[in-house]
Amino acid sequence: NAGVTQTPKFRVLKTGQSMTLLCAQDMNHEYMYWYRQDPGMGLRLIHYSVGEGTTAKGEVPDGYNVSRLKKQNFLLGLESAAPSQTSVYFCASSYELAGEETQYFGPGTRLLVL
Amino acid sequence: GQNIDQPTEMTATEGAIVQINCTYQTSGFNGLFWYQQHAGEAPTFLSYNVLDGLEEKGRFSSFLSRSKGYSYLLLKELQMKDSASYLCAVRDTNSGAGSYQLTFGKGTKLSVIP
């Protein structure tokens, strides 16, 4: 049981390049989330998904796209990377949307955009 | 929108007790979480409060007052390994990030000294 895994762990991009971050969970969770964490800003929700084939915008969705083609995977895409997207990206998943069940976080992806 | 405030940094002595406060404003409160995050790692769940009162889990306790929009995390018998950031997160039925989504505070960096 690996929990939540993220690929890659670290990446350097040039401005304008594209990339996809992969999140996978093996807990059969219905809900998945993408956050970014910046110094002095805390964790901010980018996009989330309430089930296979569904996605929704979070607090800071601009410049990102997501897809949830399979229940266990949640992909985050950057079509044209900008230096402002330099951040640490965390994926999370949860069994339920409300209630006391927590979100489980992946180890993070550090992205540097030059 | 939500406004979550917690102190930026705190220092405490090994073996002592420390209280980390969190104040919040929300229109549809639906639970408050505390997470621990060691440097370079993912957040991990510590506690959940949805009703007023104190929840105790070993050396960690969390308190909630919904009428005051206030919570605190109490860490007893501090150990060096407790040096980490502590994140307060509030779930709102209709937050700016989406229905039933978590909004995180900026975190409190706790340093435990000998």
> DSSP per residue over B63-78, as a string?
EEETTTTEEEEEE-S-
In DSSP notation, A6-44 reads: EE-SEEEE-TT--EEEEEEESS--SEEEEEEEETTTEEE
| Cβ proximity of A68 and A52 under 8 Å | yes
Around Cβ A70, how many Cβ atoms within 10 Å?
11
Instruction: Please determine, for residue B2, whether its predicted confidence score (pLDDT) is greater than 70.
Output: no
Q: Which residue of B has its CA nearest to A56?
A: B98
Q: How far is B61 from chain A (nearest CA, A)?
A: 16
Beta pairing, strands A109-113 & A10-13: parallel
Chain B residues inside the 8 Å CB shell of A39: none
pLDDT of B94 reads 81
Asked if A103's CB is within 8 angstroms of B102's CB, the reply is yes
Residue B10, Cβ density class (10 Å: 0-12 exposed, 13-18 middle, ≥19 buried): middle
**Chain segment A64-95, per-residue pLDDT in tens:** 999 999 999 999 999 999 999 999 999 999 99
The span from the CA of A81 to the CA of A65, in Å, is 12
CB contact under 8 A, A45 and B97: yes
Tell me the C-alpha distance between B109 and B88, whole Å: 12
* Neighbour count for residue A49 (Cβ, 10 Å): 21
Is A97 near chain B, with CB under 8 Å? yes
Q: Which of B 48-87 lie inside 8 A of A, CB atoms?
A: 48, 50, 87
Dihedral through CA B98, CA B104, CA B106, CA B108, nearest 10? 180
Q: B42, A97: Cβ pair inside 8 Å?
A: no
CA distance A80 to chain B (A): 23
> Tens of pLDDT along B71-112?
999 999 999 999 999 999 999 988 777 778 899 999 999 999
**What value does the mean pLDDT of chain B take?**
94
pLDDT digits (tens, 9 = 90+) for A9-67: 999 999 999 999 999 999 999 999 999 999 988 899 999 999 999 999 999 999 999 99
Closest-CA distance, A14 to chain B, in angstroms, reads: 23
- Looking at residue A2, its pLDDT comes to 83
Question: What residues of chain B lie within 8 A of the CB of A97, using their CB?
Answer: 99-100
